[in-house]
Amino acid sequence: MLEQLKVDVLAANLLLEEYKLITFTWGNVSGIDRESGLMVIKPSGVAYNDLSVDKMVVVDLRGNIVEGSYSPSTDTPTHLYLYNHFPDLGGITHTHSIYATTWAQSGLDIPPLGTTHADTFYGPIPCTKPLNVEQITTNYEHETGVKIVETFNDHQLTLDMMPAILCNNHGPFTFGASPLAAVKNAKILEIVSQMAFQTYLLNQDTNKVAQSLLDKHYYRKHGKDAYYGQK
């Protein structure tokens, strides 16, 4: 069942180690098959060097295990909530990468300071508000997804504009049309997070990127008038 998607999700998860985005088992990648309404995700707590296609877990959009002998990632309810609310979403990555998580633990948005940021993220990368005690103790992972969607709505953002978010006191989630695209955005997020952190170490009065430069770099890669790359 969904053999190609399982191969893709496995490959995406293994890239987290290659890209140095995870420590131990602190991360996961999922992908969805919209036609069947089924999601494939990494099994919970399994070391990356022990992962294989047959260990990927298939669940439906209500969280029922459809195929697999392992328990799915504990973040599965977060992934499912996001897939249910973003119909164009094809892949999700969650990590505890050092620099992005540093910003998340600080409760700060990542400001757009240069063109590297603007190439992928249209404006500040938002950090959610903290979960309250009831949200944490009742249905934590589900409520994490709720908070992510609320933040997108509050900031009037789309996944095309902002394929990343920081969960307050937790870490980053990134998004894409596929599992591999979501991992690519996780790597870009980590680089941008490090650049912003180091920029502020050098200069606390750093200016944010001018709107005109943000627009130029974002829209030359995205939208109907994009001209970056080969036709």
Phi and psi at residue 42, to the nearest 5°:
-65, 145
Active-site choice (119, 154, 200, 215): 119
Chain-centre distance for alpha carbon 119: 17
Is 20 buried (19+), middle (13-18) or exposed (0-12) by CB count in 10 A?
exposed
Has 154 been annotated as catalytic? no
Distance CA 94, CA 80 (A): 13
Q: CB under 8 Å to 184, separation ≥6 — which residues?
A: 176
Distance, first Cα to last Cα, the chain: 35
Which of 75, 53, 89, 84 minimizes the C-alpha distance to 163? 89
Determine whether 122 is an active site residue.
no
Positions marked active-site: 119, 228
